[in-house]
């Protein structure tokens, strides 16, 4: 369904599962385990796994906060895209990486739900990608102090509205970890 020509492949996009991003995140261990199981599934099925790693003042390149969590290890041949903006496409090599892999469909996991996950989902969708969010493999920290809803509500709301996204020639939707099908191009929004 993607509107991108000659891009029949799917990739697992793992966004910002870094010590300083998910350290205090909602259901951190469950989400990291779900991401890990999807990474292993993608590798078994020869689906590209593309890692995204954020850096900024709180995530200084090379620092412990910047590192990907110890439970997950990018494979030596798996692309790692460094970013400094919420949208993983913005001023990065992500588009070139995905184009080179013939990817037109993304299965998205990681953190933070209300920042980089949302920005990247929208960035992918407007660029012509099919974009599926794994509903139990993304998380965020508690930002209620600044007026945000509790993390479980942020996650639930994001899952709800992403399952309803529509655009000509593209699919969006959500799916649970156990139901991810990297080979399917069906609209997963209703699962």
Torsion of CA 37, 38, 41, 46, to 10 degrees: -140
Contact 43, 2 (CB under 8 A): no
* CA dist., res. 17 & res. 72, Å (int): 8
Among candidate residues 108, 116, 134, 137, the one labeled active-site is: 116
Q: Is 9 in the active site?
A: no
> What are all long-range contacts of 54-60, with beta carbons under 8 Å and residues at least 24 apart?
54/16, 54/18, 54/21, 54/82, 54/83, 54/84, 54/116, 55/82, 55/83, 55/84, 56/84, 58/20, 59/18, 59/20, 59/21
| Active site residues per annotation | 116
């Amino acid at each position: 369904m993607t509107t991108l020509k000659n891009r029949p492949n799917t990739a697992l996009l793992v966004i910002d599962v870094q010590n300083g991003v998910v350290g205090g995140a909602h259901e951190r261990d469950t989400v990291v385990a779900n991401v890990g199981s999807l990474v292993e599934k993608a590798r078994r099925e020869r689906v590209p796994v593309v890692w995204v790693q954020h850096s900024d003042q709180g995530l200084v390149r090379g620092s412990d906060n910047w590192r990907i969590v110890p439970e997950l290890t990018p494979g030596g041949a798996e692309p790692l895209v460094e970013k400094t903006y919420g949208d993983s496409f913005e001023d990065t090599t992500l588009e070139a990486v995905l184009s080179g892999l013939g990817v037109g469909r993304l299965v998205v996991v990681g953190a933070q739900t209300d920042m980089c996950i949302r920005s990247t989902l929208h960035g992918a969708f407007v660029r012509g990608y099919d974009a599926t969010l794994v509903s139990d493999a993304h998380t965020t920290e508690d930002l209620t102090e600044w007026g945000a809803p509790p993390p479980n509500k942020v996650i639930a709301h994001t899952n709800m509205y992403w399952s309803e996204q529509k655009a000509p020639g593209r699919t969006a939707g959500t799916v649970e970890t156990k139901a991810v099908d990297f080979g399917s191009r069906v609209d997963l929004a209703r699962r």
